[in-house]
Homo-oligomer: A and B are copies of this chain.
Amino acid sequence: MSLLDPSRAQRYMEIALEEAAEAALRGEVPVGAIVVDGASGEILAADGNRTEELRDATAHAEMLVLREAAKIHGGGRLLGCDLYVTLEPCAMCAAAISFARIRRLYFGAIDAKGGAVESGPRFFDQPTCHHRPETYGGIDEIRASTMLREFFQVRR
């Protein structure tokens, strides 16, 4: 299997997209994420954005799955684990992904307004970033971005 097996990456992104769709049903900005054990393929955590429900500005999908997966994995560091998220991570989540030592990051749509991987501060390219996951963007990006656009069209 190549590092980026398209069918495998898309299967996992499909699950992240389902989490994003469930977030939208809860009235949350539709972003979903999962953490996968790279060796076994087991999904350690899956969740969507819950900033409104938890009234917590830090409750992005990535933060929730990193913390949940760390509980299962038995430690703060998720060595050998991969994170799939439907939207380019922001600076908070990119730094958390780095601290957790995620092996590979797969994301869907680019977030030119708030992203921090290919946009804005490009956190993983900074000298202050001490662990850089392999990063693959644009996975199922049209579905992820369409879901976000439709969500905001209804509300704005």
Binding site for B on A (CB under 8 A): 51-52, 54-59, 63, 66-67, 70-71, 74-77, 90-96, 99-101, 112-116, 119-123, 126-130
Q: B128 to A116, Cβ gap below 8 A?
A: yes
Across the interface, A75 reaches (CB within 8 A) one of B55, B90, B128, namely B55
Given contacts A57-B66, A58-B63, A113-B130, 11 further A-B contacts (CB under 8 A): A56-B70, A56-B76, A57-B76, A57-B99, A59-B76, A90-B128, A91-B91, A91-B92, A92-B92, A115-B128, A121-B123
28 pairs across A/B with beta carbons < 8 Å?
A51-B76, A55-B70, A55-B71, A55-B75, A56-B70, A58-B67, A58-B76, A59-B76, A90-B95, A91-B95, A91-B116, A91-B123, A91-B126, A92-B92, A92-B93, A92-B95, A95-B95, A95-B116, A113-B128, A114-B128, A119-B128, A120-B121, A120-B126, A120-B127, A120-B129, A121-B122, A121-B126, A121-B128
Report chain B residues within 8 Å CB of A58.
63, 66-67, 76, 96, 99-100
Report chain B residues within 8 Å CB of A54.
76
Q: B128 to A96, Cβ gap below 8 A?
A: no
Report chain B residues within 8 Å CB of A66.
57-58
Q: A100 to B130, Cβ gap below 8 A?
A: no
Chain B residue at minimum C-beta to C-beta distance from A127? B120
The smallest C-beta distance from A136 to any residue of chain B, in angstroms, reads: 21
Report chain B residues within 8 Å CB of A130.
113-114
